[in-house]
Amino acid sequence: MEIATQEFKHCDLITIKGRVDSSTAPQLAQALEAANESGKYKLVVDMTGLEYMSSAGFRALLAAQRNSKKYNRGEVVLVNVPDRIREALELAGFTELFKSFDDTLTAVGHF
């Protein structure tokens, strides 16, 4: 898994590539927590290059969403969720907890 954070004026863009499982999810959780800890609660997670995500990744996203939405200070939105991952998120009942966008520009512009 590769993860990169880019800071914009109104939000942070977090790009994840590769595979997120129990082994790599802590890195994702760390990146999301790091953004929250520096006062960034409006987060765009770009999944364009994501090949795989297990429930360990879902949990990291859920924790970040919970923390970011607190006091209405922000939210986590998803971009370009690959089909297989979207289906698994749907099974887990997660799709209604996250807004999702088809392109990064619209997602960043959402904030």
Pick 39 or 93: Cβ nearer another protein: 93
For the bound state, the minimum distance from the C-beta of residue 19 to another protein, rounded and expressed in Å, comes to 7
Residues numbered 4 to 43 that lie near another protein (CB under 8 A) are 19, 21-23
What are the phi and psi torsion angles at 47 (to 5°)? Answer: -105, 15
CB-side neighbour CA atoms (13 Å) of 13: 18
- Which range touches another protein (CB under 8 A), out of 3-11, 42-50, 89-97, 101-109? 89-97
Buried/exposed code over 50-83 (b: 16+ C-beta within 10 A; e: otherwise): beebbbbbbbbbbebbebbeeeeebbbbbbbbee
Find out whether 60 and 22 touch, Cβ atoms under 8 Å: no
For the bound state, the minimum distance from the C-beta of residue 6 to another protein, rounded and expressed in Å, comes to 26
Contacts with another protein, residue ranges (CB under 8 A): 19, 21-23, 52, 54-56, 58-59, 62-63, 65-66, 69, 84, 87-88, 91-93, 97
